[in-house]
Amino acid sequence: MRMAKPIILKKIKSNIGYKCLIKCLYCGKTRWVNFAEIKKGNGKFCNIICYHKYQSIHPNKGTFQIGNHPTTEFKKGHPKPKNAYTFPFGSQHPNWKGNNAKYSAFHMRLRDYLGAANHCEICGSTSKKRYNWANLTGKYYDFSDYK
């Protein structure tokens, strides 16, 4: 079931398109609405309060009826089916560049491997907002080379 159509009392051309004088479906007040809003399915009520009161009187109009929700195989919290396709990750990915990757890609791999830096390894400080891993020799592919 769809929600009732708006009651259009008058339609005039304005400098930005057409405007319509509509009658609120709940209280009967009138107001001007752009015709584009009516085409979208809006512009049926004078304000949000009338909309909510109308919805309380006419439940499930404009929404799914109770029990008619679409069914899907996936349910939140349930494991993936055994035959589900998983996209290759890491060096198995078709776009893997290995040692020819960009600087930022090495840092993303490093963050996955070592985790986010959360303290200074030299002084042990944890008071700063942000810490970064520093490469010591320029060999970005060697994770043991970071401090």
33-72 tens-digit pLDDT: 988 888 888 888 988 899 888 888 877 655 555 555 555 6
Per-residue DSSP letter, 71: P
- Compute the distance between CA of residue 70 and CA of residue 57 in angstroms, rounded to an integer: 25
Neighbours of 52 (CB within 10 A): 11
84, 88, 146 from 74: Cα distances, Å = 11, 21, 42
Mean pLDDT of all residues in 3-22: 85
> At residue 12, what is the residue type?
I
> Token pair of 57, please?
């009187």
Q: What is the pTM of this model?
A: 0.39
* Residue 140 pLDDT level (bands cut at 50, 70, 90): confident
Q: What percent of the chain shows pLDDT beyond 70?
A: 86
129: which 2 tokens?
């907002």
Q: Which residues contact 91 (CB under 8 A, 6 or more apart)?
A: 98
Q: Is 80 exceeded by the pLDDT of residue 30?
A: yes
- 71 versus 32: the higher-pLDDT residue is 32
Give bridge partners of residue 81 from the DSSP assignment: none
Percent of the chain residues topping a pLDDT of 90:
7
* H or E element that contains 110: helix 103-114
